[in-house]
A and B are shown apart, each in its own frame.
Chain A
Amino acid sequence: MKILRGVWIAMLGAAALTGCEREERNFVEPPPTSSAVESLRLSDLRPGPSSPPPAAENSAYQENAYAISEGQRLFSWYNCAGCHFHGGGGIGPPLMDDLWIYGSEPQNIHATIIQGRPNGMPAFGGRIPDYQVWQLAAYVRSLSGLTPKDAVPARSDHMSNESPPTTMEKPSPKMTGSPP
């Protein structure tokens, strides 16, 4: 019993060290510590203390499943799919391949979204909140497999013919038992 408990604790510890910020849901940037509501209801808006520059936070987005899925949602909400489709490219360049015109680092993609690029990529700086730009960058990187695989779903709920051809083989369905 004790041995087992020890093993379990060790496993937990190991898993905790490797970190599960992958599963964190950050609904708000910065975290909702403020009492903005109360202050706002008095109708004079007091700006709070300025928060640290957001660039430092971006690495957290790249491995976070929630950030990637939010990025996926925003990709369609902000009509990125209008030019890039679901990553396959069209009017805009494809995003699923390994070819990066302006670099594949999150910062590069962030800059591309904020500043825009020649030949049609509009600048979204000042239009969408910074944290959403990082979420979009994380999703775009996930399209070409630059984010951890287990933070990304296998498919989405739209038609599949535009999704990346998966190279994985079919797993045999799990064993349901064999004669004892």
Chain B
Amino acid sequence: MSLFGDPHFAWRNAQSALNSAGPQAARIEAYWWLIFAVSALALILVVLAMFYALFHSRRRSDLEPEFRPSPKLERSRGWVVGILGAVTGVILLGLIAGSFATDQALESFTAQDALSIDVIGHQWWWEVQYIDPVPSRRASTANEIHVPVGRTVALTLKSHDVIHSFWAPNLTGKQDLIPGHEATLNFRADRAGVFRGQCAEFCGYQHAYMGFLVVAEPPDQFAAWLEKQRAPAMTPANPSQRRGQEVFLSRDCALCHTIQGTEASGKTAPDLTHLAGRKTLAAATLANNPSTLAAWIVDPQSLKPGNHMPSHLQSVRLGGDGPSGLLNQEDLQALLDYLGNLE
């Protein structure tokens, strides 16, 4: 079952520590190649030494144990072992120095003039808040972080429930989000592109599908995007959409979701003000299009079992007439119309 028929979502190198797109990830990648080379060499030498020892040992048919080896021979071998030990120690010190240098380099990327973003981990999605001193200029979105190319981004990471870990390997290393603590993480994207990230700390049933996108775009494009995010939601443009909005506000949707400019102000689920502008649904799990959206609304529990979006399967089946009737097909179609308009 692939929900990503669209080749646009082939993410083979979009979530890779070996395809850095910013200075932080690049520094780590450089250290990786250094330690990889040293390690590969060391491994080869050990294995070669083992084979050399095996086939150049003094093989005799006589298996009489040599319980008191000649002290002279032992001493000369002792020198070899001692020198090897010393060389190993020096190499280890070199690797430690390299590691510290990398740590230092990462710390030295200053966060001046950084773009501040709050990221809050929820079971199993990411809340994203663009901070601004002027309250009305704040913007809220979910699972998709747009950043300007070439400008440092300073994330403030918090968790709403359990421990999560924010990891976008193309940009920088991961940072845990621990309830009761606040963490920061800086990164910079040096080239435009869509990168994927994922929760890296086991957080329950849908740890596997707790993804997000980092969309790095040229500064002007980013500014336009952010301006759009600050605006309230589009108003319904036709009767079907109006009905959809009514459905949204009168059913369970509005208890958890917010749509700016309407009465829907639930805080426990993703902000849907500009839902239609996002590339994915359900924490970078599904491509965002009307059919996946319909599937997600009706039967989220078979797509992401255990997640907190309520199932409406029964409601749809009962056609809205049963004791629990919430949503009939027309309602659903209207709702899709409305949500599809929330650019």
Instruction: Check whether chain A touches chain B (CB < 8 angstroms).
Output: yes
Which of B1, B292, B314, B333 interacts with A129 by CB under 8 Å? B314
- Selecting from A2-10, A40-48, A96-104, A142-150, the interface stretch reads A40-48
B88 within 8 A of A: no
A11-19, A23-31, A85-93, A166-174: which lies at the interface = A23-31
Q: Are B317 and A48 in contact (CB under 8 A)?
A: yes
Per-residue A-contact encoding for B278-307, CB less than 8 Å = 1, 0 else: 000000000000111011001101110110
User: B324 at interface (Cβ–Cβ under 8 A)?
Assistant: yes
Q: Does B185 contact A (CB under 8 A)?
A: no
Question: Interface residues of A: mostly helix, strand, loop or mixed?
Answer: loop
Closest approach, in angstroms, between the C-beta of A29 and any C-beta of chain B?
Answer: 6
A-B contact pairs, 25 of them (CB 8 A): A25-B205, A25-B306, A28-B299, A29-B314, A36-B295, A37-B1, A40-B299, A43-B290, A45-B333, A49-B317, A50-B317, A51-B314, A55-B323, A73-B308, A77-B266, A79-B255, A126-B325, A127-B255, A128-B255, A129-B252, A129-B324, A129-B326, A130-B314, A130-B324, A131-B324
- The complex places the Cα of A131 from the Cα of B312 at a distance, in Å, of 10
A37 in contact with B311 (CB, 8 Å): no
B322 touches A (CB below 8 Å): yes
Kindly list chain B residues whose C-beta atoms are within 8 Å of the C-beta of A37: 1, 295, 299, 302-303
Binding site for A on B (CB under 8 A): 1, 179, 205, 250-252, 255-256, 266, 268, 290-292, 294-295, 298-299, 301-303, 305-306, 308, 310-319, 322-326, 329, 332-333
Q: Is the CB of A27 within 8 A of B301?
A: yes
Known A-B contacts A28-B311, A40-B291, A77-B268; A54 and B302 likewise in contact (beta carbons under 8 Å) = no
Q: Is A153 an interface residue (CB 8 A)?
A: no
* Contact (Cβ within 8 A) B323 A77: no
Q: A29-B311, A40-B291 are in contact. Are A54 and B299 (CB under 8 A)?
A: no
> In the assembled complex, which residues on chain A have CB atoms less than 8 Å from the CB atom of B298?
36, 40, 45
A34 is an interface residue with CB less than 8 A from chain B:
yes
Chain A residues with CB below 8 A from B318, complex form: 47, 50-51
* Bound: A77/B311 CA distance, A: 16
Q: Is B310 within 8 A of A45, CB to CB?
A: no
For the complex, count residues of A whose C-beta is within 8 A of B.
36
Minimal beta-carbon separation of B250 from chain A (angstroms)? 7
B16 → chain A closest CB, angstroms: 29
CB distance from B38 to the nearest CB of A (A): 44
Counting chain A CB atoms within 10 Å of each CB, which of B251, B303, B316, B323 scores highest?
Answer: B323
Residues of chain B with a CB closer than 8 A to A180's CB: none
Say yes or no: A127 contacts B291, CB within 8 Å.
no
A51 to B43, CA, bound (A): 62
A-B contacts besides A40-B291, A40-B294, A127-B326, 17 pairs, CB < 8 Å = A25-B205, A27-B205, A27-B311, A28-B302, A30-B314, A34-B299, A36-B298, A37-B1, A37-B299, A43-B290, A43-B291, A45-B333, A47-B329, A53-B323, A128-B252, A131-B314, A133-B324
Give the top 8 A-B pairs by smallest Cβ distance, nearest first.
A130-B324, A28-B301, A32-B302, A36-B299, A40-B295, A27-B305, A41-B291, A37-B295
Supposing A28-B302, A47-B319, A47-B329 touch, asked if A36 and B308 sit within 8 A by C-beta, the answer is: no
Chain B min CB distance to A126 (Å): 6
